[in-house]
A and B are shown apart, each in its own frame.
Chain A
Amino acid sequence: MGKERKGVEVSIAIAEAVAQANVDVIAAYPITPQTHIVEHLADIVANGELDAEFVPVDSEHSAMSVCCGSAAVGARTFTSTSSQGLALMSEIFFIAAAMRLPIVMALANRSLSSPLSIWNDHSDVMMVRDAGWIHVFVENGQESYDNMFCAFRMAEDPNVMLPVAVNLDGFILTHMIEPMEYEDDELIKQYLPDFKMKNVLHPDKPVSMGCFGMPEIYTETQMNREVGVRDSYPHILKAWQEWGKLTGRYYKPIETYRADDAECCIVTMGSYGETAMEVVDALREEGEKVGVVKIRLWRPFPFEEFDKAVLGKKTLIVIDRAISFGGPGGPVASELRSALYKKEGAPTIVNYIAGLAGRDVSRKDFRNIIIEGMKKAASGDTDGFTLYALRG
């Protein structure tokens, strides 16, 4: 590409992307590790560099409520949160999706209390897995920057009309300084033109949003939502495709690394993909037929792409970053087991839950997980899950 790359903290790059996307309203409450994103946006607005309304709300519940109001009048709307903040706004988080409001959120993934922890895992996003938002996971700084634009494009597509959460690992990504390529405002304007919603709150044409639904109609509204989320899939692909054409950086719902001839693949979401690739390189040199499968799009789940990537493999070692207490395993592994159920050529799934609340998972750990996981698969020890590096 030959474009200039500069070192930027990922949170700052996200804030600058949101400003370049020319948002109209930002409503957010600061929470670690998302803080730098909203602080920097507040600066940008206060400095007069972005003509937007920054609403310094009293809580995350209010943040999402403001976002719903602003998106309902057709304003481009952004918010960002994490962990307990997401928990506090969860009531309105679900409503935003049900009302099909094209809000974009940077979700800096962090563990849930208790014990109180500010560090990274995926327990916050898994709490709202079924809310009806589009969930994208990014792996590094460039992907975070790029996917902010893609998220607005997806959300505002008249065929989609859904809120989009861009999930990035707290600290591991938010606080990292990475080399990044920025795009010109002109290119962004071309990629993200002003959008129009079919139904907006406006006195000239009154409509009612978020109405009461009796048992006679509730089921129909849920099917309408289900199909809405499912049918957003090709338009999500299109948003990534168009971005790729303009920038040369293409994104796919499932991405693989050295997976074509692999017998065993490690499955990751978010920033873990980078380390997994390095470890796979090392293991390849030792003759192990291993690869990486990365889930970029979590909702709507890309069943076909996933099947294409994994059917015929012997083993999948799935790394989860959250626990489903008393359940069948980590949320990702449970879902993949279900997605592959009774399919011909389905690999055996070995599930590890690792890196809870920011506990470091190093290259050595990935290596252990892969080697140990392959042994477990060979001996048939594949039920449930293993909490990696658990003492006692």
Chain B
Amino acid sequence: MAKPMEQITWQELEIGAVVTEVGNARQYETGTWRSERPVVKKEQCIKCGVCWLFCPDACIVRAAEGHFEADLTYCKGCGICVKECPVGCITMVSEEE
């Protein structure tokens, strides 16, 4: 696993800051950006997968029970899933609550 970004020195960077490790976006936990989180009423979810399709960060995952929910390690709280859900079963809740 690559060094955390805040520990990399200028000498350790590849020429052109090329990233040679594949799939390392997973190491970048963007969940801290969020001010609101999407909350799914799972009993209302029709399991259509529209939220999964539209999530720009690909952080929607399918739970064992079959409904969809956001992986809060990566979810930035953009609210697109709320906008796109055809049955309105997702609401944004402030992280302060």
Tell whether, in the assembled complex, residue B17 and residue A223 are in contact, meaning their CB atoms are under 8 Å apart: no
Tell whether, in the assembled complex, residue B5 and residue A100 are in contact, meaning their CB atoms are under 8 Å apart: no
| Docked complex: A87-101 residues within 8 A CB-CB of B | 98-101
- A161-B17 Cα distance, complex, nearest whole Å: 12
Q: Name the A residues within 8 Å of B18 (CB-CB).
A: 99, 199, 207-209
Q: Which 4 A-B pairs have the closest CB atoms?
A: A100-B16, A223-B10, A220-B10, A208-B19
Chain A contact patch, size range: 20 to 34
- A359-B79 Cα distance, complex, nearest whole Å: 59
- Proximity string of chain B (8-41) to chain A, C-beta cutoff 8 Å, 1 when within and 0 when not: 1111011111111010000000000000000000
Asked whether B6 is an interface residue with its Cβ less than 8 Å from the other chain, the reply is: yes
How many residues of chain B have a CB within 8 Å of chain A?
Answer: 15
Given contacts A98-B17, A199-B18, A224-B13, list 16 more A-B pairs with CB under 8 A.
A99-B16, A99-B18, A101-B16, A161-B16, A198-B14, A199-B20, A207-B18, A207-B19, A207-B22, A209-B16, A209-B19, A211-B17, A217-B6, A220-B8, A223-B10, A224-B15
- A228-B14 Cα distance, complex, nearest whole Å: 11
Nearest B residue (CB) for A198: B15
- A162-B13 Cα distance, complex, nearest whole Å: 16
Asked whether A216 is an interface residue with its Cβ less than 8 Å from the other chain, the reply is: yes
Q: Name the B residues within 8 Å of A209 (CB-CB).
A: 16, 18-19
Given contacts A207-B20, A208-B19, A211-B19, contact A221 B14 (CB under 8 A): no
Tell whether, in the assembled complex, residue B16 and residue A220 are in contact, meaning their CB atoms are under 8 Å apart: no
Interface CB pairs A-B, < 8 A, 10: A98-B16, A199-B14, A199-B18, A211-B19, A216-B6, A217-B17, A219-B10, A224-B15, A224-B17, A228-B15
Instruction: For residue B72, give the distance in angstroms from its CB to the closest CB of chain A.
Output: 20
- A209-B8 Cα distance, complex, nearest whole Å: 17
Q: Name the B residues within 8 Å of A208 (CB-CB).
A: 18-19
- Proximity string of chain A (137-158) to chain B, C-beta cutoff 8 Å, 1 when within and 0 when not: 0000000000000000000000
- A99-B13 Cα distance, complex, nearest whole Å: 12
Asked whether A213 is an interface residue with its Cβ less than 8 Å from the other chain, the reply is: yes
User: Could you list which residues of chain A lie within 8 angstroms of chain B, going by C-beta atoms?
Assistant: 98-101, 161, 198-199, 206-209, 211, 213-214, 216-217, 219-221, 223-224, 227-228
Nearest B residue (CB) for A159: B15
Tell whether, in the assembled complex, residue A220 and residue B14 are in contact, meaning their CB atoms are under 8 Å apart: no
Q: Name the A residues within 8 Å of B16 (CB-CB).
A: 98-101, 161, 199, 209
Instruction: For residue B5, give the distance in angstroms from its CB to the closest CB of chain A.
Output: 5
- A220-B3 Cα distance, complex, nearest whole Å: 14
> Which one, A199, A206, A214, A221, contacts B10 given CB within 8 A?
A221
Q: Name the A residues within 8 Å of B8 (CB-CB).
A: 217, 220
Q: Name the A residues within 8 Å of B19 (CB-CB).
A: 207-209, 211
Most buried by B among A206, A208, A209: A208
Nearest A residue (CB) for B7: A216
Tell whether, in the assembled complex, residue B5 and residue A214 are in contact, meaning their CB atoms are under 8 Å apart: yes
